[in-house]
Chains A and B, each alone.
Chain A
Amino acid sequence: GNSVTQMEGPVTLSEEAFLTINCTYTATGYPSLFWYVQYPGEGLQLLLKATKADDKGSNKGFEATYRKETTSFHLEKGSVQVSDSAVYFCALSQGGSEKLVFGKGTKLTVNP
């Protein structure tokens, strides 16, 4: 079945550092890919998405490119802030119901 593998955390960075969180997927066909973020004590918020190969999703300085050849959707940000501290989930959706399949999540802590 479909699955998502993402970099295990936790990840700790200093403010203004470069961030990469790796995400790869296994799926038949062409799933849609998402990054969701969960801030402490809150629910899941959509961060960005890409629905077809070579699409780049971007939001709040974060970017991820749908790479079909490497089945990857790595999340990047050039300069992280303390407010980016959260858990980041990579996910895919496919099929009639478009149910989401999530990775395990990566906890990011950004120190001032």
Chain B
Amino acid sequence: EPEVTQTPSHQVTQMGQEVILRCVPISNHLYFYWYRQILGQKVEFLVSFYNNEISEKSEIFDDQFSVERPDGSNFTLKIRSTKLEDSAMYFCASRGQGARTQYFGPGTRLTVL
């Protein structure tokens, strides 16, 4: 069964450093998403991406964040200058054309020291 994959599973970084979180969505899906879950809190929407551009973003997704689909398979989230409060689990999800269901990856745990 096709699945969404994410790398790395755990990333530790120093405050102020740049991080790139990687996702490989399900191959025939066209809609891509990033969500985050701060420990003990609800899952929050960050950004959606379709046709090589952002279709919607939340207030959390400020200028420090960017997304890219550099090739036909990867979908990345970059945080330019990490803050302590960026520590969270980051989930990638993808959705097929005409479908309502999003399929999630296993997540990347980001720890900012």
Contacts and interface: CB of A to CB of B under 8 A. Distances in A.
A44 B4 CA distance: 11
Contacts of A97: 31, 48, 50, 55-56
Contacts of A58: none
A98 interface: yes
| B31, B56, B101, B107: most-surrounded residue (chain A CB, <10 A) | B101
A97 to B, nearest CB: 4
Interface residues of A, number: 24
A89 B31 contact: no
Contacts of B35: 100
Contact of B56 (A45, A46, A51, A96): A96
Interface string A84-107: 000001010101111111111100
Interface residues of B, number: 23
A51 B98 CA distance: 13
B45 A103 contact: no
Q: State the 8 A-B residue pairs at the shortest beta-carbon distance, nearest first.
A: A97-B48, A43-B106, A97-B56, A44-B104, A102-B43, A32-B100, A97-B55, A99-B45
Given A46-B104, A98-B102, 20 more contacts: A34-B101, A36-B104, A43-B91, A46-B102, A49-B101, A89-B43, A91-B43, A95-B56, A96-B55, A96-B56, A97-B31, A97-B48, A98-B31, A98-B48, A100-B43, A100-B93, A101-B45, A102-B43, A105-B42, A105-B43
25 contacts: A34-B101, A42-B106, A43-B105, A43-B106, A44-B91, A44-B93, A45-B104, A49-B100, A49-B101, A51-B100, A89-B42, A91-B43, A96-B55, A96-B56, A97-B31, A97-B56, A98-B102, A99-B33, A99-B48, A99-B56, A100-B35, A102-B42, A104-B41, A104-B42, A105-B43
